Amino acid sequence: MAKIAPVKGTRDFYPDRMAIRNWIVEGWRSTSLRNGFVEYDGPIFEYLQLYTQKSGDEIAGQLFSFTDRGGRDLAIRPEITPTLARMVNQQINSLPRPIKWFSVPRLCRAERPQKGRLREFFQWNIDIIGSDSILADAECIYTAVDYLRSIGLTSNDVVVKISSRAMLAELLKDIGFAEDQLDTIYALLDKRLKIPAETFAEMTKEKIPDQTLRDKLMKLFSSSFNNLISSVIKAPDNILKPIKDLEKLFDYLNLMGIKDYYEFDINIVRGLAYYTGAVYEIFDRKQPLRALCGGGRYDNLLEGLGGPQIPATGFGLGDVVLEIMLQERGLLKTAVGQVDVFIINAGVELYDKAIEITCQLREKGFTAVFSYKHGANVGKQLKQASEQNARCAVILGSETQTQNEITLKNLANGNQQKINLSKFLTQPGNYL
């Protein structure tokens, strides 16, 4: 039989990598829960149309699609937001608002694998649906920071760069851009942090031939938030409102205690067309081109996906870039499930006893194992115990033991003690 390879861009999770994945996903889960979100999930595949009708072209071009025996056109999910919209729509009248949901879906995209981008990955998704309050945006950002902080990433490691699509639209129109030029400008701005400065300058020249307009745009781009605030203080309401909203968002983030973790950055626009309010990306401070999370307010998206007209805000944070960042900083927790105790027999006549004790310890919740090798000597069994990373060994039948005694050996430091077997089995937690 031929050996068959894994498909490029997918990952095999051997136990050591699986432990990392579980640790990451459990961190997402516990952070979500303590911030008041509840978990949902959908199917791994949906009708193809769910993705082609509204997702950005970029995502629609990356679908793994197929036709089932019944002739249905289906696709593996490349993102979970369309599923979320479908599910919310189905139960829109019975779900209490605001809907604070999270998910940790496995997603697949048919793109070319490269560092930080795979064809299969996991993504933490947080969404608050049914509230148009700036507080909902603040909660999402806080929740992302709460997670990153909890795994050891400080404000020196990561930064949430925040802007507002609503504000940007007004400012661009104010300096002379027409409504129908905005999408072009968004696409341009979205690239600014990700490509070399000269390339960006060339692109800008090409897209905006008018030098006056270009200069105005460049001036706007270099604005600090304070500049912006003071320059528009007497601006008409349409401009003032989104800036004031952003200011309020910053106030809330300060109140929540994460002042050091965010900054205003007018370059943040997000590639997708559907954002309507605050937008943000989280970057590695040491590698400013590396984004690990993106999100924002998208008040029209659910309607566009066949859902109701209802305000929404949220983000997605993938596991691939996160894992690279944590690896580089030595912050990955890699503990594979540890064996509490390995039961060793010093003679085959004690083999059955070893099995019995193993099962009794398991019933009390301890991870207990023994060797399948009938007749293996103590040395061989100890070797196996250390191969399996056992914390302790219980040895039955050592020569120095009296009747009903066991020897408990700490495999980390080699210390050992003799214990009465019944006492040990009654309260193993006192010894293990």
- Residue 358 Cβ vs a copy of itself, minimum distance, rounded to whole Å: 8
At its nearest, how many Å lie between a copy of itself and the CB of residue 288?
28
Question: Which of the ranges 153-161, 199-207, 253-261, 405-413 carries the binding residues for a copy of itself, by CB under 8 A?
Answer: 253-261
- Three-state SS at 184: helix
Considering only residues 391 to 430 of the shown chain, the ones binding a copy of itself according to CB under 8 A are none
Query: 277 near 170, Cβ under 8 Å?
Result: no
Q: Does 303 bind a copy of itself (CB under 8 A)?
A: yes
- The closest of 379, 311, 310 to 344, measured between CA atoms, is 379
Contact pattern from residue 323 through residue 362 relative to a copy of itself, giving x for each residue in contact according to CB under 8 A and a dash for the rest: -------------xx-x------------x--xx--xx-x
Task: For residue 373, report the phi and psi dihedrals to the nearest 5 degrees.
Answer: -85, 95
Identify which of residues 100 and 161 has a Cβ nearer to a copy of itself in the complex: 100
Residue in 78, 126, 141, 142 binding a copy of itself, rule: CB under 8 A = 142
Is there a contact between 295 and 314 (Cβ–Cβ < 8 Å)?
yes
Site for a copy of itself, residues 165 to 194, rule: CB under 8 A: none
Given the rule CB under 8 A, which of 220-228, 250-258, 262-270, 412-420 is the region that contacts a copy of itself? 250-258
User: Which residue in the block uniquely carries the two structure tokens 């059955």?
Assistant: 352
Closest CB to a copy of itself among residues 42, 271: 42
Q: Which of residues 256-295 bind a copy of itself (CB under 8 A)?
A: 256-257
Shortest CB 157 distance to a copy of itself, Å: 18
Residues 46-105 contacting a copy of itself, CB under 8 A: 46-47, 49-50, 53-54, 64-66, 68-69, 72, 74, 76, 83, 86-87, 89-91, 96, 98, 100-101
Answer yes or no whether residue 13 interacts with a copy of itself by CB under 8 A: yes
**How far is the C-alpha of 49 from the C-alpha of 43, rounded, in Å?**
15
* Residue whose CB is less far from a copy of itself, 368 or 393: 368
Q: Which residues of 395-428 are buried (b: 16+ CB within 10 A; e: fewer)?
A: bbbbeebeeebbbbbebeeeeeeebebeebeeeb
> Does residue 248 touch a copy of itself according to CB under 8 A?
no
**Which amino acid appears at position 404 of this protein?**
N
Of the candidates 382, 331, 392, the residue with the CA atom closest to the CA atom of residue 149: 331
Query: Taking CB under 8 A as the rule, does residue 431 contact a copy of itself?
Result: no
Q: Which of residues 98-127 bind a copy of itself (CB under 8 A)?
A: 98, 100-101, 106, 108, 110, 120
Least distance (Å) from a copy of itself to the CB of residue 50?
A: 5
Whole-angstrom Cα distance, residue 405 to residue 420? 5
DSSP state of 117: B
Taking CB under 8 A as the rule, does residue 372 contact a copy of itself? Answer: yes
Count of residues interacting with a copy of itself (CB under 8 A): 93
On whether the CB atoms of residues 4 and 115 are closer than 8 A, the answer is: no
In this chain, which of 179, 237, 387, 399 binds a copy of itself, going by CB under 8 A?
387
Q: Determine the interface stretch with a copy of itself among 34-42, 194-202, 213-221, 228-236 (rule: CB under 8 A).
A: 34-42
| Closer residue to a copy of itself (CB): 145 or 169 | 145
Which of helix, strand or coil describes residue 353? helix
CA dihedral 315, 278, 49, 103 (to 10 degrees): 20
**Among 35, 231, 401, 416, which residue interacts with a copy of itself (rule: CB under 8 A)?**
35
Verify binding: residue 39, a copy of itself, rule CB under 8 A: yes
Buried b (16+ CB within 10 A) or exposed e, 242-256: bbebbeebbebbeeb
Round to whole Å and give the CA distance between 389 and 386.
5
State the Cα–Cα distance between residues 372 and 213, nearest whole angstrom: 78
